[in-house]
Amino acid sequence: MRLVYMAGKGGVGKSVSSAATGLWTSQRGQKTLAFSMDPAHSLSDILEAEIGDRPTPIAENLYAVEPDLAAEAEKFYASYRSLFRALFEMFQFEVRPQDFGAVPGVGELIFMDRLYDVYMDGDYDVVVIDSAPTALVLPLLKLPEVTTGVVTRLLGMKSRWTGIFNMLEPGFGDSVVKEVRRLRTKAETMRNALIDPEITTISVVMIPEKAAVMESERLIKTVEAHGVTVDSIIVNHVMAPCDCDYCSRRVASQKGYIEEIKTKFANKQIALLPSYGEEVKGPGLAQVARDLYERGELRI
């Protein structure tokens, strides 16, 4: 299985790039899943299809899924019920399972858990991940380290805390340790997949503007500091030359930032996507796919 991960800030075109990539690989005979990790799902609109919580057929070899965060939160809470009961009840903090996904940082865990299932099932040749603007890749990289610390502390205090939890409810303390270990195993599996270039391709999508370039540079540095290689950069909304004064200034400004991107990231694949003049969806994705991959600027 090949994981193609689209990262970047909000509003730069990650969902369009994800959908176009999925179309490209599926048309080449690879069974492909476009997987939305953004709670504000956009794939339905872009693919012009009703996409639900289960993989939905879009075209030959192409499927898409938009997991429902609230429903996934309830399932996730049920899977790690003992762990979260221990954490929340210890601090007298009440969270309803249906509201669990709203807890800061939990959404990333929930989507990681669902992606793990897709990865382990192995039903697809390619999974294109349309990430949330918060760059889910970072929590995935840090989670094994965090859970390792939790497991170590729990095991170190096992004689004290596990016994207390077991007094509250038979087997409760043992269940807590078991669930933390399971969460850690899943996180380590996904981290190992992300850092393996034979499995994962990570593309950062940006636009040629100062704030976007700076934020993308910080994202790339942070991700690569954790041992993950960003393979490629997609520069979106590149304007074509125009004679009017406004457009001429915008084109000149964009040109400067594009040159900066090419200089700073000379070791990466870089693809330029034009400004198409309208919202890209449905049939228009075929042109985006060709602009990304047919000219050989990007490889999967």
Mean pLDDT by 10 residues, the chain (300 residues): 91 94 97 90 92 94 93 87 71 66 72 91 96 66 61 53 57 74 85 90 94 89 86 94 87 94 94 91 94 85
Alpha-carbon distance of 135 to 270, in angstroms, equals 20
- Position 70 scores a pLDDT of 84
Which pLDDT score is estimated for 147? 59
pLDDT value, residue 83? 76
Beta carbons within 10 angstroms of residue 95's beta carbon: 16
Question: Which one, of 172, 285, 267, lies nearest residue 229 by Cα?
Answer: 267
- CB proximity list for 261: less than 8 A, separation 6 or greater: 206, 208, 213, 233, 235, 270
Give pLDDT, residue 141. Answer: 65
Instruction: Return the closest-CA partner of residue 232 out of 197, 270, 276.
Output: 270
Do 247 and 283 contact (CB within 8 A), yes or no? no
Report the alpha-carbon distance of residue 19 to residue 34 in Å, rounded. 7
Write down the pLDDT at residue 144.
Answer: 63
Query: Which residues are bridge partners to 254 per DSSP?
Result: none
For residues 104 and 115, give the distance between their C-alpha atoms in angstroms, rounded to a whole number: 19
Cα→Cα distances 300→17, 116, 143, 293, Å: 13, 21, 26, 9
Q: At what angle do helices 210-224 and 137-156 cross, to 10 degrees?
A: 40
Q: Between vectors from CA 95 to CA 92 and to CA 100, what angle results, nearest 5°?
A: 145
> What string of H, E and C letters represents the secondary structure of 138-181?
HHHHHHHHHHHHHHHHHHHCHHHHHHHHHHHCCCHHHHHHHHHH
What are 232's two structure tokens? 């490629």
| Cβ contact 231:221 at 8 Å | no
How far is 86 from 150, CA to CA, in rounded Å?
A: 13
Structure tokens at 200: 């994962």
Q: How far is 290 from 46, CA to CA, in rounded Å? A: 17
- Which residues is 272 bridged to in the sheet? 235
Q: Measure the CA–CA gap between 35 and 130, rounded to whole angstroms.
A: 6
Q: Which two structure tokens, joined as six digits, stand for 230?
A: 């960003």
Query: Which tokens sit at 265?
Result: 């990231």
